[in-house]
Amino acid sequence: MKKQVFNRIPISFTFPLKIAGWIILNLFMVFFVHLYAENVFLNNLLVGLNFFLSASILVSIGRYVILTLYANSRKYKSRSSFRSNFVLGINRLSAILNALFALNMIMIIIGVDPREFLTSITLVAMAIAVLFRDYITNMISGLILMFSDQLAIGDHVIIDKQEGRVEDITLSNIVVRNGSGELVLLPNNLFFTSSVVNKTSGKSQTLVLEFELLPQYLNALDVLEEDLNRFCQKHPKLTPGTIIELSIDKISWEYVSVKIALNLPSSSNNLRKEIKSALFKEIILFQQKQ
């Protein structure tokens, strides 16, 4: 019987520091009441720090539990790798909550009641929401993307005519590295308001390549198809009997647009890159021989 492996999520090095700080702070507040009881500022400082550390520790525990449950779920175990954008989403959400708790701590330290503060700035908050509407919607869109299966870090996508590999998803932008190696920052809202093509192999084991040839090679496409099929039979990482389907997508006076498709033994991104590169080399060799 195969032993079940329990996946553990590494604990952040700041978590033990928070626990130690919380314990020391509470021991001080219990045994040295006389040192701060009559000092309003010091009392507020200790209460604010205690609130922040307690809330932050609860957030850290919640983050650890959620990621551990996800890492050991059936969904995770059926995948070849952990979805880094889910982890990213949890981390971003934790950072937002910690920032809100830090703001709450500051208000407690300076003697402002957070509940009274929120009720007193209702109209101001509405005005701020209108002014920063685009940023707020971008942030919400970013969180939706992080927790969805529509897009993941490492996916090869086309968003609003920008093609490349997703490097990062922030609260405001999708960071895409294009074919030239440049980083393109696309607003998160663009993913929901424009056409998006996700070319990632995670959804299919079919590899499709599109390329252009000069019209002079039109009569030799049968030779190209034979060369590519011969390559497939010899490649050690392709299943024996793999056949390439070659089709003409478009013909003009300047070029012939050709599309080839083949089935891969797995949906590995590394395998796709390797086969894609090797096929393009075969196509270049074909042109040199003609």
Residue 58: predicted pLDDT:
93
Q: In what order do the strands lie in the sheet with 256-263?
A: 206-213, 256-263, 245-251
């520091």: which residue's tokens?
A: 17
For residue 1, the model assigns a pLDDT of 41
How confident is the model at residue 125, as a pLDDT? Answer: 72
Distance (Å, whole) CA 227 – CA 117: 74
Q: Which residue has the tokens 């957070």?
A: 114
Residue tagged 């496409």 (tokens): 221
What's the pLDDT at 206? 77
What pLDDT sits at residue 5? 47
Task: For the beta carbon of residue 22, count every other beta carbon within 10 angstroms.
Answer: 17
Task: Give pLDDT tens digits for 54-70.
Answer: 999 999 999 888 888 87
- What domains can be seen in the chain, in order of their start residue? 14-112 (no CATH), 121-199 (2.30.30.60), 202-289 (3.30.300.330)
Distance linking the first and last C-alpha atoms of the chain? 58
Q: Which helix (H) or strand (E) holds 213?
A: strand 206-213
Residues of the chain with pLDDT under 70: 1-10, 73-85, 200-204, 267, 269
Token match 């000092």: residue?
A: 39
Instruction: Tell me the pLDDT tens digit for each residue of 13-25.
Output: 788 899 898 999 8
d(CA 178, CA 162): 7
